[in-house]
Chain A
Amino acid sequence: MKLHPFSIRRFAAVVSKEFIQMRRDRVTFGMMVGIPLLQLVLFGFAINSDPKHLPTAVYSADHSVFSRTLVWALRNSSYFDVRRIADNEREIETLLAEGDVQFVVHVPVDFSRRLLRGERPSLLMQADATDPAATGNALAALNALTTTVLDRDLQGLLTDLRAQPGPVSLIMHRHYNPDIITQYNVVPGLMGVVLTMTMVIITGLAITRERERGTMENLLSTPVRPTEVMLGKLVPYILVGYIQVGFILLAARFLFQVPIVGNVALLLAIMLLFIFANLAVGITFSTLARNQLQAVQMAFFFFLPSILLSGFMFPFRGMPVWAQWLGEILPLTHFLRIVRGILLKGNGLALIAPEIWPLALFAAVVLTIGIKRYRETLD
């Protein structure tokens, strides 16, 4: 077939048509606004992988200054919320079993006596560990709390009884997010998640819809070229992507007070590549899908590994090697590193370069498959 130059006029016609359709399609429009909003609320406010103020009960069989101090210290820590001072052991069991409390701190009868004798008495902590994530940090917090708090009461002659520190004291500095505020990590990452979700689903839908409604047949019978249709369909959604990102950046800055130390312009520039990679996936899916439902199913097929294996939900280094390999293929993995690198660490282009080329490679490969598969005819 003879080569035909790309026509800006026809391209512009497709773009403006897409904009009108986007405006009219309330569901899609709602999705484009709703997805970032919902994710921000869910991941920003609701989902917290480092939960605090966990309901706690204390059962003290030992009535001494030490046990009172302990309760006071628990009350003051942000991890525990002392709801109940239990009177007997039976009560403890039911509290845990019924899920009224997450922890029960059990001070044994001879706690103060043994403490004063230097026998390192044990303090029993019963935890409802059905959700391990909820308990891990709290246990560590209690551990730290007992040593520092009790030391205050072991004054004067009792100083010798303080727990002896080991020969090396381990000091941990937490970088970038010293207070371990989950939102710092999650909110910038949300940009990648939201873009993946909207870009793949919506381009997938936009093209399969033409086929499903039969309008593709009409379009193909006109002089409009496939590249004009494709690009014309992509441009409005690239804009949508940037609006979503702007929205999340504003929320990150002003709602979640995420310190933005890096170059936002650099981030926005690299984002184009990421958006493109996802649009390429959407286009490729639309060439495979027979109808809109299939396109959405394929989008989820892509979205799930993206969100699970990219390091968004779970720490990347904690995954088995094969999962890490899979994760390395996904654009979201690299984009998360780029976003977090730029926003939280202030990384420049040189430092994020190793994450750019895998993104570019992914986009190139997928787009080639998409274009190869895009049919100019109905065959």
Chain B
Amino acid sequence: MTAPELVIDVHGVTKSFDGRVVVNAIEMQVARGEIYGFLGPNGSGKTTFLRMLCGLLTPDAGHGHCLGYDFRSGSAEIKKHVGYMTQRFSFYEDLSLEENLDFMSRIYGLPNRKTAVRESLDRLGLAGRRTQLAGELSGGWKQRLALAACLIHQPRLLLLDEPTAGVDPKARREFWEEIHVLAAQGLTFLITTHYMDEAERCHRLAYIAYGDLLTRGSPEEVLRHAGLTTWQVRGPQLHDLAEALRGQPGVEQVVAFGTALHVSGRNAAQLRASLESTLTPAHHSEPIESGLEDVFISLMDQAKDKF
């Protein structure tokens, strides 16, 4: 086998609600063992796309495969091998951790439930609190319980919808460590997130806005394709300077970062000319690398212009 095995390979996936296109002809290829980041502004159709992948919503159009099954007609088979972690906590708050995990393992028909549940609790580090009701957990712990429950049937593909929303930085880092370990073992991840540091930890990314796929590739490729130039400016009266820069030719984004301004735009020459005409000698400016956030915001602004 030369080409990597594709766990997700879908084309032209489309979904509208009440005549409004929410996911517009999206295509996506995710290879086995890959951590694929799925980004986009609120309401851009990420959750809708994930739901279609695991058979929760019927796509209006599109074809392709997921885990080797036709993604439209094979959802019953797909469901057995997918772990879907919903954006909103969707386990039973009136069941204890152990009961929740036990319920999931029974639903998936696991042969030795007891062991599976115990191992899962141990891995979570929650063995001591197994009889606690899920509803009594803090937000971050709920997320970890949800991840554990999604993993209990040893799925081949994990669809995680904002799994780290509201999780503290240390727990988030641990979470990502674990994901990388699992991916190395051959598990495939499709993860939506709004955090840029998480986007950078993905093997590949896709960015959608208003249902349209705007860019995809590895984080480096995404940065390169965007063709964005960014300058860092330091000096006095940054606030007034920002006001003066906004709206000038070539200036697309002006963002304040503590004691510096990041000014970016796609037309490098225009941007440079605008900076030179506006900056005073008291200001110090230097070109820096654009971040993913700058790229995404720039992409989103372009997409918005089309509407």
Contact = CB atoms under 8 A, between A and B. Distances in A.
Interface string A314-357: 00000000000000000000000000000000000000000000
A174 interface: no
Contacts of A223: 76, 79-80, 107-109
Nearest to B153: A222
Given A1-B76, A214-B86, A221-B82, A17 B57 contact: no
Interface in A2-45: 2, 4, 7, 9-10, 12-13, 16-17, 20-21, 24-25
A217 B56 contact: yes
B94 interface: yes
Interface in B79-97: 79-80, 82, 84, 86, 88-95
Contacts of B55: 220-221, 377
Nearest to B93: A213
A39 B86 CA distance: 43
A379 interface: yes
B58 A379 contact: yes
A215 B149 CA distance: 13
Contact of A13 (B73, B90, B106): B106
By secondary structure, the B interface counts as: loop
B75 interface: yes
Nearest to B52: A377
Nearest to A13: B106
Given A21-B92, A378-B57, A1 B75 contact: yes
Contacts of B79: 221-223
B99 interface: yes
Given A24-B94, A214-B89, A218-B86, A12 B106 contact: yes
Nearest to B146: A218
A224 interface: yes
B56 to A, nearest CB: 5
Contacts of A214: 86, 88-90
A217 B159 CA distance: 13
A307 B298 CA distance: 64
A17 B92 contact: yes
Instruction: Point out which of A7, A220, A378 has the most chain B C-beta atoms below 10 A from its C-beta.
Output: A220
A370 B80 CA distance: 26
A221 B76 contact: no
B106 A9 contact: yes
A9 B76 contact: no
Contacts of A220: 55-56
Q: Which of B55, B56, B84, B99 has the most chain A CB atoms closer than 10 A to its own CB?
A: B56
A218 B84 CA distance: 7
Contacts of B58: 377, 379
A7 to B, nearest CB: 7
B104 interface: yes
19 contacts: A1-B76, A2-B73, A2-B77, A9-B106, A10-B107, A13-B103, A16-B106, A17-B103, A21-B95, A24-B95, A25-B94, A213-B90, A214-B86, A217-B56, A218-B90, A222-B79, A377-B57, A378-B51, A378-B57
Closest 3 CB pairs of A and B: A13-B106, A218-B90, A221-B84
Interface of B: 51, 54-58, 73-77, 79-80, 82, 84, 86, 88-95, 99, 103-104, 106-109, 133
Interface of A: 1-2, 4, 7, 9-10, 12-13, 16-17, 20-21, 24-25, 213-218, 220-224, 377-379
Given A16-B106, A215-B91, A223-B109, 11 more contacts: A1-B73, A1-B76, A7-B109, A10-B106, A215-B90, A216-B90, A217-B86, A221-B79, A221-B86, A223-B107, A379-B58
